[in-house]
């Protein structure tokens, strides 16, 4: 089982991906984000080359559905893969693998999209979207809540790995958290997020304005 949700925060412009899988180290192979450009999830026989290639096309002005059409024409094995994309304006597109292991599903909402494979219920991505939409708080809070729904309902195989990747304005991620192997990866990811959330602006300030950050620590 692998489920992913991508989203944009209309208030902050943050772009993020959260995913959970029964396979090890899923985040490094399947999740990609670039500030103000877009976010991409690639899964089901994932080809990690497609993530950076999709972000480059989004940065060059391609809409998400145009990226998927291009890959469908040019990428060998694309029928085996699932993809979801969101751009900096919140436009989304999903590609359903026509040759996939197990039941798949996909859903799109305002500023968000979700995909899943090896599911026990193909409507799980729709419920992930529903939870994301009705959850309040920061983008990370909403993405993690959606993952908890996926773990509760997705099925086919235990969850072992999870990740949360969010970009805002800088070329590096504001949030880059992952559990690569655990019996309870989403619970572990939620714990890391709760630890990171109150500190992340401080670490950003250390990079952008170290003099102010040092002054704050001394006061």
Instruction: From first to last of the 219 residues of the chain, give the pLDDT tens digit.
Output: 999 999 999 999 999 999 999 999 999 999 999 999 999 999 999 999 999 999 999 999 999 999 999 999 999 999 999 999 999 999 999 999 888 778 999 999 999 999 999 999 999 999 999 999 999 999 999 999 999 999 887 666 789 999 999 999 999 999 999 999 999 999 999 999 999 999 999 999 999 999 887 766 654
Q: How far is CA 204 from CA 41, 141, 178, in A?
A: 25, 19, 19
Half-sphere exposure of 92 (CA within 13 A, CB side): 23
* CA 122/CA 153 separation, integer angstroms: 10
Sheet holding 38-43, edge to edge: 31-34, 38-43, 82-87, 92-95
Tokens of 65: 């559905």
Q: Which H or E run includes 206?
A: helix 200-208
Give the start-to-end residue ranges of the domains of the chain. 2-218
Is 2-218 CATH 3.30.70.2740? no
For residue 21, the cross-strand partners are 2, 161
103 phi, psi to nearest 5 deg? -75, 135
Crossing angle between the packed helical segments 210-218 and 200-208, to the nearest 10 degrees: 130
Backbone conformation region of residue 36, classed left if phi is above 0, alpha if psi is from -120 to 50, else beta: left
Single pTM value for the model: 0.94
């Amino acid at each position: 089982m692998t489920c992913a949700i991508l989203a944009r925060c209309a208030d902050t412009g943050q772009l993020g991906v959260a995913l959970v899988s029964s396979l090890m180290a899923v985040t490094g192979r399947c999740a990609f984000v670039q500030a103000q450009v877009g976010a991409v999830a690639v899964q089901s026989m994932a080809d990690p080359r497609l993530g950076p290639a999709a972000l480059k096309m989004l940065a060059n002005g391609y809409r998400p559905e145009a990226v998927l059409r291009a890959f469908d024409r040019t990428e060998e094995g694309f029928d085996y893969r699932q993809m979801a994309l969101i751009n900096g304006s919140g436009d989304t597109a999903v590609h359903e693998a026509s040759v996939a292991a197990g039941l798949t599903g996909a859903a799109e909402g305002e500023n968000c999209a979700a995909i899943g494979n090896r599911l026990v219920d193909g409507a799980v991505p729709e419920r992930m979207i529903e939870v994301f939409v009705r959850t309040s708080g920061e983008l990370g809070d909403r993405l993690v809540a959606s993952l908890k729904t996926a773990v509760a309902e997705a099925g086919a195989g235990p969850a072992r790995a999870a990740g949360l990747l969010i970009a805002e304005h800088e070329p590096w991620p504001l949030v880059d958290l992952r559990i690569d192997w655990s019996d309870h990866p989403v619970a572990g990811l939620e714990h890391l997020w709760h630890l990171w959330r109150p500190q992340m602006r401080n670490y950003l300030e250390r990079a952008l304005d170290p003099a102010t950050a040092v002054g704050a620590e001394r006061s």
